[in-house]
Amino acid sequence: MDVRIQFLGGAGTVTGSKYLIEYRNDRLLIDCGLFQGYKHLRLRNRAPLPIVPNQIRAVVLTHAHIDHSGYLPLLVREGFRGRIWCTAATRDLCDILLPDAAHLQEEDAAFANRHGFSRHSPALPLYTAADAQEALRHLRAQPLYQPFEPITGWRVQFFGAGHILGAASVLVEVGGRRLLFSGDLGRADDLLMFPPDPPPAADAVVVESTYGNRLHPTGHLIDELAPLLARVAARGGTAVVPVFAVGRAQALLHAIDELKRQQRLPRALAVYLDSPMAAHATALLMQHLGEHRLSAQQVRHMTQSVQVARTPDESKAIARHGGPKVILAGSGMATGGRVLHHLKLYLGDHRSMVMLTGYQAPGTRGDSLLRGNNTVRIHGQDWAVAAEVVQLTTASAHADADGLLGWLRAIPGTPHRIFVTHGEPEAADALRCRIERELRRPALVPEHGSTWAV
């Protein structure tokens, strides 16, 4: 009987990663992410899966980002009863990310109901904090490189993927086949994370393609950040920085700390981290020393020079600081969270700056800002954009096209099929073309919902 993969997410888009492996009567789900961006994609989060969740025996996570883990509370609420396998750091991050995602959804629904701008009455969160807590009870941690059996007869192994704390590529051995899932691959020169491990041999590969049609420019985040923050500080403005709470926030805090230590930024420049989730994720760096590049001293130092806003009142109080300042707040694509309130305050101020720190999925507010739109819709209103909008080109935590190709090239032997996923259509197809042309290996971009024998 064939081993089959069904692409329930991450196909034709950069969000919602879900890959269902089926062999005989057993099913294993690799990743369980939420869709983000365009409304037609977000509506998939509320549509039932084409499989009953209790027919899935186990889930394996590549990492904790919400587009890879954020559907778990729904899966459990709808009947999944198995275990969710991941690395220890991914488990610790999910303990932070999933309840926070639920809280933000509950908060946004309550805000919409109070102000009446939702088309639904009442507006309901996708899932609740209680749903998130129930999902967390299913998590089981497993070390890198140590094989385990999530289902009897199925052998799974984690390999380091860089990208963020705890991120892994996943090798699944079942039915005489070796299936390799890249997860999100990091950069060789990442400020925080080590490079991805060399990949193992595999018969079929599922590889991400977020930057499948782009190369990262040469240079370092610290050097790119210095003149931008110096410029906004000199004119007395505020830098509003939408950040991903895991990975990007910590890289920027470390870079800003280094710039102050090098006296390239004023030590008095106020820096606010308006994200309890990012603060908790930063603390995890101390618990997982040796899994990233920073020393204990560097982690301590970067946390001492930032003011953390943990409560809504502390978040609102940031606006009372009149001098130049930097505000790091979630979410990274400005799709929700506290950064929206800061954007409403500072988008209309020509002295200020909105600093986008990574990939902005089409349909998100970050993408709208990046495209130079004169207005951005937030909480049912259009807000004029007078602030300077910039995008950092050196902050990405993803491998670029050359990095992805290099990882694929390092796979021993010749995989008989490579599936290119987790990228927008242009990026995915560009990587497919390079794989076929330069590696001379068969590659395809699967459609959402399609099933393939491997």
Q: What is the largest CA-CA distance in the chain?
A: 68
- Which pLDDT does position 162 carry in this prediction? 97
Q: Contact, 182 vs 208, CB < 8 A? A: yes
Q: Which two tokens stand for residue 173?
A: 């051995």
pLDDT score recorded for residue 37: 79
Which residue type sits at 172?
V
Identity at 376, one-letter amino acid code: V
Q: Which residues of 196-227 are buried (b: 16+ CB within 10 A; e: fewer)?
A: bbebbebbbbbbbbbbbbbebeeeebbebbbe
Q: Which residue has the tokens 């289902």?
A: 151
pLDDT given for residue 245 in this prediction: 85
pLDDT at res. 437: 97
Helix residue ranges, H only, 28-147: 39-42, 66-69, 72-77, 88-115, 129-136
Check residue 330 and report its DSSP letter.
S
* β pairing state of 417-421 and 388-391: unpaired
Among candidate residues 242, 335, 246, the one with its CA nearest the CA of residue 45:
335
pLDDT for position 118: 60
In the 8-state DSSP scheme, what is residue 195? P
Residue pLDDT tens, the chain, 454 long: 799 999 999 999 999 999 999 999 999 999 999 998 788 898 899 899 999 999 999 999 999 999 999 999 999 999 999 999 999 999 999 999 999 889 878 877 887 777 766 666 687 888 999 999 999 999 999 999 999 999 999 999 999 999 999 999 999 999 999 999 999 999 999 999 999 999 999 999 999 999 999 999 988 999 999 999 999 999 999 999 999 888 889 999 999 999 999 999 999 999 999 988 889 999 999 999 999 999 999 999 888 889 999 999 999 999 998 889 999 998 889 988 899 999 999 999 999 999 999 888 888 899 999 999 999 999 889 999 999 999 998 988 999 999 999 999 999 999 999 999 999 999 999 999 999 999 999 999 999 999 999 9
As given in the structure block, the two tokens for residue 417 are 């099929």
* CA angle at 410 for the pair 409 and 415, rounded to the nearest 5°: 65
Neighbours of 374 (CB within 10 A): 8
User: How many separate helices (H) and strands (E) can be counted in the chain?
Assistant: 14, 21
> What is the reported pLDDT for 359?
81
pTM of the predicted model as reported, rounded to 2 decimal places: 0.90
Distance of CA 232 to the CA centre of its chain: 27
Taken in order 91, 93, 96, 102, the sign of the CA dihedral is negative
Report angle CA 320, 326, 327 to the nearest 5 degrees: 75
pLDDT of 52: 95
Could you tell me the sign of the dihedral formed by the alpha carbons of 18, 64, 28, 3, in that order? positive
